[in-house]
Structure 1
Amino acid sequence: MSDDAKALGPSVRGIDMVRVRYVDSQGVQHLVRWEEAADVPFENSRMVRAIPSHRDQGHMPGHYWVAKWGDFVEYESVLESKWLTLLDFDPHVTVFVTQPFEFDAIDARGTWQHTPDVFARRRDGSALLLDVKNPEQRDDPNVRMQEERTRRACERLGWDYGMVSEPSAQRWVNVDLLSSARRPLHLGAELVPRLLELAREPVEIGKLMRFMEFPDLARGVLYHLMWHRRIVTDLDRTLRETTLVKVAPEART
């Protein structure tokens, strides 16, 4: 047991009953026991609650355009939109939804309800649940209790769970840059074969651009290929003109 769980005391160490409330793709509301919830395709469900939007609220909701399937997903804050971008970029994640369901549970401390922020399904069929919290709130006792309760519920369901705050700074800067080129290519699509050919062996970004007749256009196409992981590099380091990039093995033709 983690030190955080011990600090919360014995009242959240056991969960007596967990039910899950969700709205299916047809708009029908369901309330199921946790034993049934593990088999529910929440990635196809509708949001279980509307995200509030009003003047002077402390966060900024909006819509994120998902490159994986070409549609919008609502988010509740700018911080949450960062994690949607990272999930969109993650090759192991096939689909994700926000406000996917509500836990309705009872433990030794009493009843509790919680609507997680994001449910994601991976290629191997496994599930990931995320709660996105402002880092200034992470030490709040109520937030810590919510995290522990949700984590234990996910353990029973066989899901991975994380309460996340700001992503890794350098990786986020890079992924955010590439996300600007995530939409389908129109202008510059004819440059793709040339870029893939030139990057069959590791090459510096600056040198790669010097091979191109229209380097400004080619850079945007390069970022598009990097977003879709057809050309790869180490995104935990600063992207520079001297950064080495290369075609991903699966993208070689």
Structure 2
Amino acid sequence: MSGDVEGPEPAVREFDLVRVRYVDGEGIERLVRLEEAAGVPFEDGRMVRAIPSYRDQGHMPGQYWVAKWGDFADYESVLESKWLMLLDFDPQVTAFVTQPLEFDAIDARGAWRHTPDVFARRRGGSVLLLDVKNPELRNDPKVLLQEERTRRVCERLGWDYAMVSEPSRQRWVNVDLLSSARRPLHLGADLVPRLLELSREPVEIGELMRFMEFPDLARGVLYHLMWHQRIVTDLDRPLRETTLVKTAAEASE
């Protein structure tokens, strides 16, 4: 008889078993180990699940037109659409996709699955994974557990992760205003060099408009240049006629 004493089964270590399901750019569903997922270009894939739409649902799904590449991205709620716009505005974000992948995992507390809301690729190749949650649900124990599990998986992948609710109000108001001019310029495109030249030194928006023959048209072009961050200002403060704007350093070279 062996002298070894049998003990309880060892507990499953957190996230020992994690697989990632996704749909590639050809529409083929794939399932990989977590270790393989770090190298997958999820931004080139398709949504892993369809966003449901039905009568009397509690949130409003829709589509956001992405200025970065001129196509639509599906969103699950108005709150999520705000974050898509902020990602579209962020110059460090090169691509993003909604409902990008599903984690299928087992940890010490049992089996779980989760589909994050947005996968974003940044310049340099780093990743930001986002979950967008209604502020009223933010402290729900199930939501907190989901956040903890997803954050720890992202740490293993070397990704940044955030669970977000309402964005900063003033910044959102400003970016939303500028988004009205995010589409390609046609009428007024000839005003671009003049606006960039006049903004080489900080100038008030109202003063800048007084230099323009057609100020209403010029304002829309200015907002377009600000959306694309060729002209910049502090967007955490209200945009007024006295707001100082300036040509971005890279736009003036």
Q: Please indicate the TM-score interval, normalised by the length of the shorter structure.
A: over 0.9
3-state SS of 1:200 partner: coil
- Aligned partner of 2:8 in structure 1 is none
Q: Distance in 1 between matches of 2:45 and 2:174?
A: 31
Q: Distance in 2 between matches of 1:174 and 1:27?
A: 37
Deviation at 1:41, TM superposition (A): 0.5
Off by >3 Å, runs of 4+ in structure 1: none
Deviation at 1:13, TM superposition (A): 8.2
Contact 1:121 1:127 in 2 (8 A): yes
3-state SS of 1:241 partner: coil
Matched, 1:83 2:83: yes
Q: Compute the TM-score of the two structures, normalised by the length of structure 1.
A: 0.94
Deviation at 1:119, TM superposition (A): 0.1
Structure 1 residue identity aligned to 2:178: L
Structure 2 residue identity aligned to 1:179: S
- Aligned partner of 1:218 in structure 2 is 218
Alignment of 1:68-217 (within 5 A): 68-217=68-217
- Aligned partner of 1:23 in structure 2 is 23
Q: Distance in 1 between matches of 2:183 and 2:17?
A: 44
Deviations along 1:42-73, whole A, 9 cap, x unmatched?
00111000000111000000010111111100
Deviation at 1:121, TM superposition (A): 0.3
Alignment of 1:239-250 (within 5 A): 239-250=239-250
Deviation at 1:16, TM superposition (A): 2.1
Deviation at 1:101, TM superposition (A): 0.6
Q: Compute the TM-score of the two structures, normalised by the length of structure 2.
A: 0.94
Aligned length: 243
Deviation at 1:14, TM superposition (A): 2.1
Backbone CA RMSD of aligned residues: 1.2
Gaps of 5+ in 2: 1-10
Deviation at 1:15, TM superposition (A): 1.7
3-state SS of 2:16 partner: strand
Q: Distance in 2 between matches of 1:202 and 1:57?
A: 48
Structure 1 residue identity aligned to 2:111: T
